[in-house]
Amino acid sequence: MIMTPFKDLDPILHSQLRLAVISLLMSAESADFTFIQKQTGATAGNLSIQITKLKEAGYIDVIKKFSNNYPQTLCRITPLGKKKFAEYVNALKDYLEPDQPDQY
């Protein structure tokens, strides 16, 4: 049996909080900052930093607007973010089942 080398894990997604944010956005497409913060249990400052990193990598779009005179930050996953998440999941599957074809 020939073992193929393991794929590198995306360092952007390999952070627990960034992975949680992308995972939420994979199912919701978009979510506001407060919802993401409640779901992840992250502090506002840490979440803000991680969202900025995801935005700079092109994995999410961040839309800032006002809703009922209150500022709202909306995060939306990009096509690149979806692609990178799928690649990350497939890389993890390769660690668990190295001889199976990509399924995600």
Q: 16-91 adopts what CATH topology?
A: Arc Repressor Mutant, subunit A (1.10.10)
pTM: 0.84
The CA–CA distances, whole Å, from 49 to 9, 17, 27, 56 equal 21, 10, 22, 11
Length, in residues, of the chain: 104
pLDDT in tens, the chain (104 residues): 445 566 788 999 999 999 999 999 999 989 999 999 999 999 999 999 999 999 999 999 999 999 888 889 999 999 999 999 999 999 988 888 866 655 55
Strands 70-77 and 30-32: antiparallel
**What does 53-98 look like in DSSP terms, one character per residue?**
HHHHTTSEEEEEEEETTEEEEEEEE-HHHHHHHHHHHHHHHHHH-T
Domain ranges of the chain: 16-91
